[in-house]
Amino acid sequence: MGVTAAALLGYCGWSILRADTQHGAPIGPDRLLADENAFRDPASMQALGLAALADRPTDGAAFRILGTSAALRGSEELALRLYRISVRRDPRDWKAHAFLMDDAFRRGRVEEGCGHLDAILRVAPELSKPLLSALAAELGDEGLKQGLADLVAQDPPWAPQWVTALRDPVVAPEDVVAFFEALSVRRSLLPSEHLALIEALARAGRIGDARAHWLETLSPRERSLADNVFDGGFEEEERINGEFAWNLDAEPGIDVTFDREASMSGRQSLRIDFNGRSVKLRTPSQRLALSPGRYRVTVAFEDSTSISVPFAFMVGCLPGGELTRLDLSNGPERGIWMHVEGTFEVADGCAQQRLWLTTRSRSIADGQVSGVLRLDDVRVRKILP
């Protein structure tokens, strides 16, 4: 018994020494395979793989090295057989999966290729950025698009990185839109996927479709606030965020809130409190998707600030210049509700627009504002012929 135990412990210690570098330099197949990148010619690679298999006949990496040797000699079918043995022996060998993925995609076997892709990204997530970026550039291929939609619908752990790859401006927006349309048939889109789809629609010049899709992500009550200007009466119960909602981010020197104590109409207005600092105002603002034609814009305001030069409400083309400017001027009177209005023309080339509040300060002193400005009833109506 003692002799047997001693022999067993001796063998285990020898095996650990060969496989685990913390017990010394490995001198078995692990050392051989660790040196695989030092060999480039088929004969040396074949000798390396066979030497490793002689000691460990089930080693997946050794079969992969033999596969690479066969590929370099032009024996493609033998290489594929060896790569398949490699991934059966070691499902985590991403290099063997990469060879098989490339071959499957090249032969049009998209489902098989996507299976290898999934295996690679699960065991080597550091490869997600270059690999997914390369695939995103090929989304124009219908088979690849459908295969990736099948795969992403299963919510693999790398799906967020795929969405990031699709948001790269170099990826054709039409391909991104088509992918998300295919994915939406398989399951509901996640919020990050909705955002990527909306961005792609906008980049493709389909601003109206982008806004319509954004509205579909809202609740029925929130959608009821939609007009040419979304929630022009500032009636939202809680702040609504999104591509075509109001941007109400506070800038240095101001606070932005909804005011239920004072409004021109409805339940509340937008209240902007100025604390006396110099401001360069760009809030509130909103992205529009108006079709070509002539429009009338109206704004209600109550100015109880110290500003010396009137605030201005602007409408402009994105990208492009100013379409109209409304001066929010009530003369010497302060603290009363007033309406201003103006007209503007949206040309054929102006696919998207923006409206925003700003100041027309000519100096730092002009820009130093204290007090309260309220806004309500921001409307844009098309003027019919």
Instruction: Give CA–CA dist 121/83, Å, rounded.
Output: 18
| Both tokens assigned to 197 | 């789809």
Neighbours of 20 (CB within 10 A): 11
The per-residue pLDDT for 4 is: 34
Considering the entire predicted model, what is its pTM? 0.77
Q: Using the 8-state DSSP alphabet, how is residue 91 labeled?
A: T
Sheet containing strand 269-278, edge to edge, reads 254-259, 269-278, 368-382, 293-305, 337-346
The reported pLDDT for the residue numbered 37 is 58
pLDDT reported for residue 173:
97
| Homologous superfamily in CATH for domain 2-215 | Tetratricopeptide repeat domain (1.25.40.10)
CA–CA distance, 160 with 176 (Å, rounded to integer)? 14
What is the residue whose two structure tokens read 């079918």?
A: 77
Helix and strand counts by DSSP (H, E) for the chain:
15, 9
Whether 376 contacts 225, CB under 8 Å:
no
The candidate with the shortest Cα–Cα distance to 62, out of 28, 16, 18, is: 28
pLDDT in tens, 100-132: 998 999 898 999 999 999 999 999 999 999 999
* CATH no. of 254-382: 2.60.120.260
Portions of the chain given CATH number 2.60.120.260: 254-382
CA atoms within 13 A on the CB side of 3: 0
Dihedral of alpha carbons 81, 86, 91, 95, sign? negative
Ranges of the chain whose pLDDT falls below 50: 1-28, 31
Intra-chain end-to-end CA distance of the chain, in Å: 105
For CATH 1.25.40.10, the residue range(s) in the chain are 2-215
